[in-house]
């Protein structure tokens, strides 16, 4: 059943071990990878927050990992012989969950918008300065690709193209939340989150795993559900812990939004057990949502196995699913629009745009001048030489690998070089932590 979808093969190394050993090796590589460690310095809701109890991206990802494990165990308990050792499914789901946010830039989804909007504004002028001509119609797909920064797409790029972890094919595919072109369909099928730089990899994964073009790996559905379950209460808990929102105000908002007894009764039972609310509420609601996710996975198994089921596992009108929607809406209205949160985001906005603007000078150079800069042959260019010295050596090597082999998708070699040079800048800045990008902005601004 899952044998074709979960092989021991990797993109680069030859198979020298069994399937369980291969996924265990994936696990070790992922846990020890520096992008995972950096998640501890990226906050979940409140940028630049130093309070120890507030969730970082790392602690959130660990919670998602555990929730994914719970869903998978329930699926395995009811699933006929999957054709692979159950431990391999657990390993792949847990590590896909741990990696699900690894490509997020500083300041999370807000940072994605800042990067995309900045490049949308500056792209044409930077392109023209470097190539000596305005972008033509043939460049527009690459322009759209660069100007749409996406943390999901960056995760795949980070793990495979930049850090070269050489994970098993199934592990890579289990990370790809939106693998299709996003040109048609509903739900996740209408979205795309694979950069053109990784499109050949995505096509290779689909072919080798027996998936139709644009289809999801089935374990992605579990990772997606685990993420949805984990943050629904966590964001509200962090807001109360940080005193952005009082518990009494939260209870008032939740009771006002609840349209049926399910959530209200669960809140009453949780308060009776613990006046602080969140522990018992999280435990009971998580248990119900985990059951719902597993039941949907098993009920829709044929479509999920084919990677064509268009909805999340928590889609529908069941009481737990509606409670999840209520929690999301309350978090959006009562937390994310608060002046305190928006003030932190504005600080991040200024820092991120400031860093991008300073480093964008590297995108104005012709390809030969940029190569000379990297090789230390450039005379003068005081600022640019120092900026180039701050770029990550790992990212520079990935850029050099990408431009070494001609790519027929580009009309001109100079276009290929500039595309990957822009990726180099985006790789570098998006890999910064919240605190580091603020420090970099202050350094570059002399403040």
C-alpha 11/C-alpha 20 separation (Å) is 17
The enclosing domain of 277 has a CATH number of: 1.10.3410.10
* Structure confidence at residue 52 (pLDDT): 54
Same domain, 328 and 348: no
Structural domain contains residue 230: yes
Predicted confidence at residue 45, as pLDDT, reads 64
Per-residue pLDDT, 55: 77
Residue-level pLDDT at 178? 94
CB-based contacts of 194, cutoff 8 Å, min separation 6: 153, 156, 176, 178, 179, 202
> Do 359 and 334 belong together in one domain?
no
Among 314, 338, 362, the domain boundary falls at 338
Give the domain extent around 303.
218-338
Q: Which residue has the tokens 């795993």?
A: 209
Co-location of 376 and 423 in the same domain: yes
Say whether both 228 and 328 belong to one domain.
yes
Residue 420 placed within a domain: yes
331 and 284 fall within a common domain: yes
Residue 239 makes CB contacts below 8 A (sequence gap 6+) with 45, 245, 250, 331, 334, 335, 338
| Beta bridge partners of residue 43, listed in sequence order | 56
* Inside any domain, residue 311: yes
> What per-residue confidence (pLDDT) applies to 16?
81
Domain end (from 290, 322, 338): 338
Co-location of 322 and 389 in the same domain: no
Query: Has residue 124 been placed in a domain?
Result: yes
Residue 307 and residue 225 in one domain: yes
Evaluate whether residue 299 is within a structural domain.
Answer: yes
What angle (nearest 5°) sits at the alpha carbon of residue 321, between those of residues 320 and 322? 90
Tokens for 343? 């003030």
Residues 367 and 306 in one domain: no
Statement to judge: residues 439 and 395 lie in one domain: yes
Judge whether 440 lies within some domain. yes
What does the buried/exposed string (b/e) look like for 135-149 if buried means 16 or more CB atoms within 10 Å of the residue's CB?
beeebeebbebbbbb
Over the chain (447 residues), what is each successive 10-residue block's mean pLDDT?
Answer: 95 87 98 94 65 77 97 96 95 98 92 97 98 97 97 97 97 95 74 94 96 95 97 88 90 91 94 92 96 98 94 94 94 87 88 97 97 86 92 97 96 98 98 93 90
Query: What sign results for the dihedral spanned by CA atoms 56, 57, 62, 65?
Result: positive
In a domain, 306, yes or no: yes
- Same structural domain, 331 and 410: no
In 3D space, the residue among 107, 112, 76 whose CA is nearest the CA of residue 2 turns out to be 76
Q: What is the DSSP string of 21-49?
A: HHHHHHHHHHHT-HHHHHGGGSBSSSTT-
Question: Residue 253 in 3-state DSSP?
Answer: helix
Clarify whether residues 310 and 358 are in a common domain: no
Q: What is the DSSP string of 337-402?
A: TSHHHHHHHHHHHHHHHHHHHHHGGGGSS-HHHHHHHHTT---S-HHHHHHHHHS-HHHHHHHHHH
| 392 in a structural domain | yes
Residue ending a domain, among 297, 314, 338, is: 338
Predicted local confidence at residue 226, as pLDDT: 98
What are the φ/ψ torsions at residue 168 (nearest 5 degrees)? -65, 155
Give me the active site residues, please: 60, 100-101, 227, 386
- Domain count for the chain, please give it: 2
351 lies in the same domain as 408: yes
């Amino acid at each position: 059943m899952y044998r074709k979808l979960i092989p021991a093969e990797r993109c680069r190394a030859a198979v020298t071990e069994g399937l369980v050993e291969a996924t265990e090796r994936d696990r070790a590589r992922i846990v020890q990878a520096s992008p995972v460690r950096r998640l501890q310095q990226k906050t979940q809701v409140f940028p630049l927050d130093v309070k120890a109890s507030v969730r970082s991206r790392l602690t959130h990802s660990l919670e998602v990992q555990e929730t994914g494990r719970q869903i998978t165990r329930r699926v395995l308990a009811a699933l006929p012989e999957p054709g692979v050792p159950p431990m391999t499914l657990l390993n792949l789901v847990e590590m896909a969950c741990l990696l699900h946010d690894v490509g997020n830039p500083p300041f999370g989804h807000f940072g994605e918008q800042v990067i995309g909007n900045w490049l949308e504004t500056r792209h044409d002028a930077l392109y023209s300065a470097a190539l000596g001509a305005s972008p033509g119609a043939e460049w527009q797909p690459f322009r759209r690709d660069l100007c749409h920064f996406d943390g999901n797409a960056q995760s795949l790029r980070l793990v495979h193209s930049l850090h070269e972890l050489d994970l098993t094919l199934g592990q890579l595919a289990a990370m790809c939340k939106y693998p299709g072109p996003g040109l048609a369909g509903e739900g996740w099928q209408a979205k795309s989150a694979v950069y053109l730089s990784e499109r050949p990899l995505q096509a290779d994964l689909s072919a080798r795993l027996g998936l139709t073009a644009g289809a999801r790996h089935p374990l992605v559905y579990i990772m997606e559900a685990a993420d949805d379950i984990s943050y629904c209460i966590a964001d509200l808990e962090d807001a109360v812990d940080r005193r952005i929102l009082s518990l009494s105000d939260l209870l008032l908002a939740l009771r006002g939004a609840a349209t049926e007894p399910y959530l209200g009764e669960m809140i009453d039972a949780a308060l009776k057990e613990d006046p602080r609310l969140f522990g018992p509420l999280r435990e009971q609601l998580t248990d119900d949502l985990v059951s719902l996710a597993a039941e949907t996975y098993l009920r829709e198994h044929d479509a999920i196995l084919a990677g064509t089921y268009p909805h999340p596992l928590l889609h529908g009108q069941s009481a737990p699913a509606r409670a999840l929607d209520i929690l999301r809406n309350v978090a959006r209205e009562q937390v994310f629009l608060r002046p305190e949160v928006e003030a932190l985001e504005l600080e991040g906005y200024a820092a991120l745009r400031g860093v991008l603007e300073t480093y964008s000078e590297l995108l104005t150079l012709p390809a030969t001048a940029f190569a000379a800069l990297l090789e230390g042959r450039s005379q003068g260019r005081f600022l640019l030489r120092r900026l180039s010295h701050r770029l990550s050596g790992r990212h520079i090597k990935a850029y050099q690998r990408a431009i070494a082999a001609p790519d027929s998708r580009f009309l001109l070699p100079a276009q290929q070089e500039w595309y990957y040079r822009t990726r180099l800048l985006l790789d570098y800045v998006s890999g910064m932590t919240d605190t580091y990008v603020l420090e970099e902005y202050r350094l570059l601004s002399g403040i």
